[in-house]
């Protein structure tokens, strides 16, 4: 029997994943800033406080003070004791305050105890620019965390991937950093009506087959690359779109196979171009696919400036369809 599919928004897919895992496992709970009666800054936890705390009399949805190191540390301790906390950061930019907890503790405890202690923790929230949230609220943090062994780092672009990967993250025994670009929350996709549906880590997706050039990205930039591919098709250029999805572990096999087929690659990422994770992808392509390339690997990233408040300037700082097209046409000359 074919799986029954339901169309829903990226935001609703994440909420559904959380609800199903809360109902499946009593060790799962959610904690973060304004996720209770306020129902979350981006409304991901809408209705959860009422359902679990008020109607069922359980403390499964915990509002925290604005103390990221404190509540992240509490979550790590709870995970070490056998619970499965989901920490929602109001914005992943605020997780900078909890870097010591996440990198020096969550990511390393399993290794430093010789495998005796597990940390089944999910740190999730909006990462990247939203709309006029300015310099301190617009960071793309996924590349920072992908630098650190001991973490799983995910940046899904579709509702289906967000749903399946978040459920897998909650069930996993390792700490997971799960980033959700605010620009994706209202996008829609089909997800299976199966509470046991999960997706594996470390698997990239080919969202569009092509033969002339590989467009490689993750999170919101995957959707940008799909738009770019449509524009290229008007000029007879057949682009392949690779959605990286998982930064750590990274599915290099899918990326390399695409590049070996098309012989050209453009890596697009919203993070600052300088030092961003797209540079890691480009470097690996250069190392492993050098003889397959007909042109240098091109990176298209965000401008190396603090994010402005002005909407006009904000849009100038993020990769746009025309930016990617200009890089491609230059590459194809």
Residues with a known catalytic role:
68, 137
DSSP string, 257-309: HHHHHHS-EEEEEEEESTT-HHHHHHHHHHHHSGGG-SS--EEEEE-SSPPPS
Please list the residues that pair with 188 across neighbouring strands.
9
As a whole number of angstroms, the distance between CA 20 and CA 11 comes to 14
As a whole number of angstroms, the distance between CA 198 and CA 60 comes to 22
The H or E element containing residue 160 is: helix 159-171
Q: Using DSSP bridges, classify how beta strands 298-302 and 265-272 pair: parallel, antiparallel or unpaired.
A: parallel
As a whole number of angstroms, the distance between CA 265 and CA 290 comes to 11
Mark residue 136 as left, alpha or beta (left: phi above 0; alpha: psi -120 to 50; beta: remaining): alpha
- Residues 280 and 153: beta-carbon distance below 8 Å: no
- Residues 191 and 159: beta-carbon distance below 8 Å: yes
């Amino acid at each position: 029997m074919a799986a029954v599919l339901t169309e829903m928004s990226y935001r609703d897919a994440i909420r559904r994943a959380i609800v199903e895992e809360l109902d499946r496992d009593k060790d799962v709970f959610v904690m973060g800033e304004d996720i209770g009666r306020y129902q979350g800054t981006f409304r991901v936890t809408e209705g959860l406080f009422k359902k679990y705390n008020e109607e069922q009399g359980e403390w499964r949805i915990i509002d925290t003070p604005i103390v990221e190191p404190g509540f992240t540390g509490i979550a790590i301790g709870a995970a070490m004791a056998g619970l499965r906390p989901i920490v929602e950061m109001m914005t992943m930019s605020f997780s900078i305050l909890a870097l010591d907890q996440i990198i020096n503790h969550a990511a390393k405890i399993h290794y430093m105890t010789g495998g005796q202690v597990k940390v089944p923790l999910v740190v999730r929230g909006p990462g990247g620019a939203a709309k006029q949230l300015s310099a301190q609220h617009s960071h793309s943090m996924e590349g920072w965390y992908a630098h650190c062994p001991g973490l799983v780092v995910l940046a899904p672009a579709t509702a289906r991937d967000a749903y399946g990967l978040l459920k897998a993250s909650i069930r996993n025994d390792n700490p997971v950093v799960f980033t959700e670009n605010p620009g994706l929350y209202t996008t829609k996709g089909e997800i299976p009506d199966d509470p046991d549906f999960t997706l594996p880590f470390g698997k990239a997706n080919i969202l569009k087959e092509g033969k002339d050039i590989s467009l490689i990205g993750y999170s919101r930039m995957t959707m940008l690359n799909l738009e770019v591919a449509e524009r290229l098709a008007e000029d007879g250029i057949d682009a392949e779109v690779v959605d990286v999805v998982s930064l750590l572990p990274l599915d290099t096999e899918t990326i390399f196979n695409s590049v070996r087929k098309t012989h050209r690659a453009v890596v697009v990422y919203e993070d600052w171009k300088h030092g961003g994770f797209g540079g890691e992808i480009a470097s690996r392509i250069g190392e492993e696919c050098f003889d397959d390339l007909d042109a240098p690997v091109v990176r298209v990233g965000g401008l190396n400036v603090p994010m402005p408040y002005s909407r006009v300037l904000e849009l100038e700082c993020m990769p746009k369809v025309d930016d990617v097209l200009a890089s491609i046409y230059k590459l194809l000359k």
